[in-house]
Amino acid sequence: MKVKDKQGTAKENKAYAIHCIEAAINGGANWNILCDINGGAY
């Protein structure tokens, strides 16, 4: 089950995903770790 907020998932709304990354950087984050969370394993 995917958890969605009012903006949808990052896959559905790429502009929102980029906005979240930019907000983290502008907020002073030292690290930005992007993860695939749709349940797949390699």
Q: Where are the domains of the chain?
A: 1-28
Per-residue model confidence (pLDDT) at position 33:
85
10, 16 in Cβ contact below 8 A?
Answer: yes
Number of other CB atoms surrounding residue 28 within 10 Å: 6
Per-residue model confidence (pLDDT) at position 14:
81
Q: How confident is the model at residue 42 (pLDDT cuts 50, 70, 90)?
A: low
What tens digit of pLDDT does each residue of 3-40 get?
455 566 666 778 888 888 899 999 999 998 877 666 66
